[in-house]
Amino acid sequence: MLKIGPYELDSPVLLAPMAGVTDLPFRKLCRQFGAGLTTSEMLTSDTKLWHSRKSASRLVVEPQDWPVSMQIAGSEPSELAEAAQACVELGAQIIDINMGCPAKKVCKKAAGSALLGDEKQVERILRAVVEAVEVPVTLKTRTGIAPEQKNGPRVAKLAEDIGVSAVAIHGRTRACRFNGEAEYKTIKNIAAELDIPVLANGDINSAAKAAAVKHNTGAAAVLIGRAALGQPWLFREMKHFLVTGALPAPLNLKQKKQVIEQHLNDLHAFYGPVQGTRIARKHFGWYCQYLANGEHWRKQFNQLQEAEQQLELTDKYFQWLFSYEEEAA
């Protein structure tokens, strides 16, 4: 059983935090399909900025999110410690520190993966946050600064020594961003060295890949990010495959329709009719990648301005898919 601090997770397949994606509606959906842990979108450590509409939506948690994990990012130890305490006051049961994001707007503030270039600052930040809160602290980072500077193992061991409860490693360096293929040898080396759980992340896009990466690295769990976009049922498939060695029966079109409609309704309710319809567009687009003639329907969906219109078009699209499936059979 995978444990992070006192929390026993019922699945070794976890949802990676993703800015602009892992909001409450998406986390609930991934939980529904078996994600053992979900983490909020990245929050800036500057709590003065939490009053914006975007940040405010990232602070919303629910009991179903248990254990509630919230991610913070920044470069100043005292500021991160204060943000961690604020998150705990809002209901966070796990604090995740981002030292893996390669985005320019994050790195230019010496945060995210940019911190890998300053291990002394990494130590100061981790120590400040661990000492500031009584809940488990986790770290999400990368294999290193660049392919020729893979200091990820040192950073991970440092984190364990300071008292971090789990470390997630993305199988790319900061310099690699999301280019090329993830490598897992470094993750294997880290997992062999640490006693705390190591979570493997990067390019894990199928149940077979999840099983292979978990087995080959010795990681305690796999962390799924971009692969979950448009197919949150991947968590169900991966969990079932890791336990039984076989895939579960796939969702049929009717079931997928119910999932997508539920997701759209949740987005509309959570963000309101205006913002909800805007955010629904990207999610619908991701679903369309895995459905017949998806690009045609995605373009139509993106022109709609009202929540009800989006739901009507979704129903129309699936009526077409049902007919298409019958003709193909």
Of the residues 196, 222, 244, the one at which a domain ends? 244
235 and 275 share a domain?
no
The pLDDT value given to residue 109: 52
- How confident is the model over 262-279, as pLDDT tens digits? 999 999 999 999 999 999
User: In whole angstroms, what separates CA 206 from the centre of its chain?
Assistant: 16
242 or 46, greater pLDDT: 242
CATH (domain of 304): 1.10.1200
CA 101 to CA 107: how far, in whole Å?
Answer: 8
At residue 103's C-alpha, the angle toward residues 35 and 151, to 5°, is 80
- How confident is the model over 283-292, as pLDDT tens digits? 999 999 999 9
232 and 261 share a domain?
no
For residue 30, indicate whether it is catalytic: no
Number of domains present in the structure of the chain: 2
Enclosing domain of residue 139? 2-244
The torsion angles phi and psi of 130, rounded to 5 degrees, stand at -60, -40
72 and 186 share a domain?
yes
Sheet holding 166-170, edge to edge: 13-15, 221-224, 198-201, 166-170, 137-142, 94-99, 69-73, 43-44
Kindly state the average pLDDT of the residues 31-43. 94
84 and 118 share a domain?
yes
Beta strands in 163-225 (DSSP E): 166-170, 198-201, 221-224
Residue from 30, 101, 107, 176 carrying the catalytic annotation: 101
CA 181 to CA 184: how far, in whole Å?
Answer: 10
- How confident is the model over 57-85, as pLDDT tens digits? 677 777 777 899 999 999 899 999 999 99
Model pTM score: 0.92
Contacts of 304 (CB under 8 A, 6+ apart): 277, 310, 313
CA 80 to CA 86: how far, in whole Å?
Answer: 10
71 and 211 share a domain?
yes
CA 192 to CA 171: how far, in whole Å?
Answer: 15
Kindly state the average pLDDT of the residues 175-183. 87
The pLDDT value given to residue 53: 67
Instruction: Please state, as a whole number, how many other Cβ atoms lie within 10 Å of the Cβ of residue 63.
Output: 7
CATH (domain of 127): 3.20.20.70
6 and 147 share a domain?
yes
The answer to whether 314 and 257 have CB atoms below 8 angstroms apart is yes
- How confident is the model over 90-112, as pLDDT tens digits? 999 999 999 976 554 554 454 55
The pLDDT value given to residue 46: 84
